[in-house]
Amino acid sequence: MRDLRDPNLGSASMDDLIDTVLRQLRSDPRADDQIANRKRRGQQGGRPPAFDRDAYKLRNTVERCINCLKQWRGLATRYEKTATVYRAGLLIAGIFLWSAR
């Protein structure tokens, strides 16, 4: 079995190695800078302040529709050479998906 010890850590066990890495991550000064930057910027930066359930439902519906359309080989591979033929295939696939509901 291979020796997994880091030469910089000596003969430390794996638990000591994990503890060392976690300690370094917790003491990373960049994390404090990121938190301060988010607080300073407010709603203009960082994570969104709240979860919008209606926007999520609409986005999820669109993503699921696109995933269903990707099941069509002609649409997924973009085999058609012209935009009009590709659009026609997209419309036909949409009609089939709509009628299957």
Pair (95, 67) in one structural domain: yes
Q: What is the pLDDT confidence band of residue 80, given thresholds at 50, 70 and 90?
A: confident
User: pTM score, two decimals?
Assistant: 0.44
Q: Domain count of the chain?
A: 2
Identify whether 49 is part of a domain.
Answer: no
Pair (38, 69) in one structural domain: no
Residue 73 domain flag: yes
Q: Domain of 18?
A: 14-44
- Residue 2 domain-assigned (yes or no): no
3-state secondary structure of 5: coil
Q: Which residue has the tokens 């269903």?
A: 68
Confidence of residue 15 (pLDDT cuts 50, 70, 90): confident
Calculate the average pLDDT of the chain. 77
pLDDT digits (tens, 9 = 90+) for 58-70: 999 989 988 888 8
Specify if 25 maps to a domain. Answer: yes
- pLDDT at residue 83 greater than cutoff 50: yes
Q: For residue 97, what are the CA distances in angstroms to 17, 59, 78?
A: 54, 18, 19
In a domain, 21, yes or no: yes
Backbone angles phi, psi at 30, to 5 degrees: -65, -35
Say if 74 falls within a structural domain: yes
